[in-house]
Amino acid sequence: MADLDSTRYISDLNQAWVALGIGLVYVIYYITFVVKKPLIICGNPRLRDFIDTNLPVLNEDYWPLFWCLNGKFQTLLKGVTNKTVRISVNWTYRRDVLVTPDGGEICLDWVDNDKKSLHLRDERPTVIIVPGLSGSSGEVYSVHFFELVQKLGYRSVVFNNRGLGGCRLKTPRTFCPKNTEDFRTVVQHIRKDYPNAPLFALGASAGGLNLFHYLADYGKDCQLNGAMIVSVLYEMFASTKNLETFPNVLLFNQTLIRDLHYDMLLPNQDILRTHKNLDVNSILQTGKETTHSLKPVSLKWIRCSDLTKAFDEMDEILASSNRSSISHSPYRTDVWLQGLETILQGLQSNWTYAQNQNTYAIHECG
């Protein structure tokens, strides 16, 4: 009996040493090969000097999540947990409903931050948060943005696109990243209510692309004091194609289609049927089949765009939404923050564009 206990003890001890050794090797690998400074690409030496001087954080090492090393794995993890974990949103919004010139409605959700801000209400800096394709004020990243803005003592407002965030469609028109009419309406409304408050915008994913187009369209007349764009799809064709491959089709494609199907299409199918060129029954059936199967379906089936145009114009919209298709403005300086390994991008085209233009690019290492 004693010999048996001794054997078990030695076996357990050996397993502990093996686990400790593996852990030590992992720590050494993490510190040696994963923790690195961002890789910086810039086509303009003056711009590079300016950013180096004003953004010293870029000279520091980037420490990825220890147990989930690179951005690609983190994005995959986000896609998995998004289906199983519901995060409680403990925010009280003040909803503002805007009527657009064409009769549509846009819902703005405000967090005024009256209790924690040191700024006067009329002069309090305001940040417009623009969610992604199917996003709204209830998204996890929207909540994180709220928290960051609140810590700064600023006021925040989420720009919920037509038909999203509990805002019903009034016309058969939804969201198009290239169309900036609604963005202009939101900015003008906020400027009218708070003319003395600095105004900033923060766009994520398709919302960031919409913000980028707005800046490109209006330039000095954009009425914004600053803007930050996060995780933008620079190459729409490459991103759309990548979403239709395994495993992205399960983790992201279906999630986007499911959200649009249940949050926008089903609640608004009556108003969508008023459009003469829109086969709503076919769209609903495709969405239903996609959300209950492993079938990879192109996002072209759903209008992530203006429903007043025919479906066969989606390729044209995707092409005109590419970052590289927008003419470079001497007024605008672009700063990119992009992961080196990314699911939603065609990285090579972005890399080439950054080298050939007066553009500053950051690619996270690890």
pLDDT in tens, 136-152: 888 878 888 888 999 99
Cis peptide upstream of residue 247 (ω within 30 degrees of 0): yes
pLDDT attached to residue 72: 64
Q: Are residues 12 and 143 in the same domain?
A: no
Q: Are residues 149 and 28 in the same domain?
A: no
Residue 137 CA to its chain's centroid (Å): 13
Mean pLDDT within 295-305: 40
* Total Cβ atoms within 10 A of residue 44: 14
C-alpha 169/C-alpha 206 separation (Å) is: 19
pLDDT attached to residue 263: 84
Q: 84-132, pLDDT tens digit by residue?
A: 544 445 567 899 999 999 999 999 999 999 888 889 999 999 999 999 8
Q: Are residues 120 and 14 in the same domain?
A: no
- Which of 144-168 are b and which e, b meaning 16 or more Cβ less than 10 Å from the residue's Cβ? ebbeebbeeebbbbbbbbbbbbebe
Q: 258-292, pLDDT tens digit by residue?
A: 788 788 888 888 888 887 777 777 766 665 555 44
Q: 71-96, pLDDT tens digit by residue?
A: 666 766 665 655 554 444 556 789 99
pLDDT attached to residue 108: 96
> In 112-266, where do the E strands start and end?
126-130, 155-160, 199-204, 226-230
In a 13 Å sphere around the CA of 277, the CA atoms on its Cβ side amount to: 10
Stronger pLDDT, 71 or 64, i.e. the higher one? 64
Residue 43 in any domain: the answer is: no
* Total Cβ atoms within 10 A of residue 362: 21
Stronger pLDDT, 322 or 49, i.e. the higher one? 49
Q: Are residues 296 and 188 in the same domain?
A: yes
Which of 205-219, 300-314, 321-335 has the lowest average pLDDT?
300-314
Q: What sign results for the dihedral spanned by CA atoms 126, 186, 302, 310?
A: negative
Q: Are residues 29 and 89 in the same domain?
A: no
Which of 24-33, 65-74, 105-114, 169-178 has the lowest average pLDDT?
65-74
Residue 213 in any domain: the answer is: yes
Residue 16 in any domain: the answer is: yes
State the pTM of this model.
0.77
Residue 9 in any domain: the answer is: yes
Stronger pLDDT, 48 or 192, i.e. the higher one? 192
Q: Are residues 18 and 126 in the same domain?
A: no
pLDDT attached to residue 223: 95
Q: Are residues 153 and 10 in the same domain?
A: no
Mean pLDDT within 244-264: 76
Q: Is beta strand 360-364 parallel, antiparallel or unpaired with respect to 39-42?
A: antiparallel
Q: Are residues 137 and 267 in the same domain?
A: yes
Residue 362 in any domain: the answer is: no
Residue 225 in any domain: the answer is: yes
Q: Are residues 7 and 145 in the same domain?
A: no
Q: 220-232, pLDDT tens digit by residue?
A: 899 999 888 887 7
Structural domain of residue 12, as residue ranges?
1-33
Predicted confidence band at 212 (pLDDT cuts at 50, 70, 90)? confident
C-alpha 187/C-alpha 126 separation (Å) is: 11
pLDDT attached to residue 46: 80
Q: Does the structure show a pLDDT above 70 at 312? A: no
Q: What residues contact residue 283 under an 8 Å CB cut-off, 6+ apart?
A: 265, 301, 302
Residue 259 in any domain: the answer is: yes
pLDDT attached to residue 70: 64
Q: Does the structure show a pLDDT above 90 at 2? A: no
Q: Does the structure show a pLDDT above 60 at 307? A: no
pLDDT attached to residue 288: 54
Residue 212 in any domain: the answer is: yes
Q: Are residues 175 and 312 in the same domain?
A: yes
296: domain CATH number? Answer: 3.40.50
Report the number of distinct structural domains present in the chain: 2
Predicted confidence band at 302 (pLDDT cuts at 50, 70, 90)? very low
Q: Are residues 130 and 1 in the same domain?
A: no
Q: Does the structure show a pLDDT above 70 at 169? A: yes
Average pLDDT across the chain, whole number = 75
Q: Are residues 112 and 217 in the same domain?
A: yes
Stronger pLDDT, 5 or 270, i.e. the higher one? 270
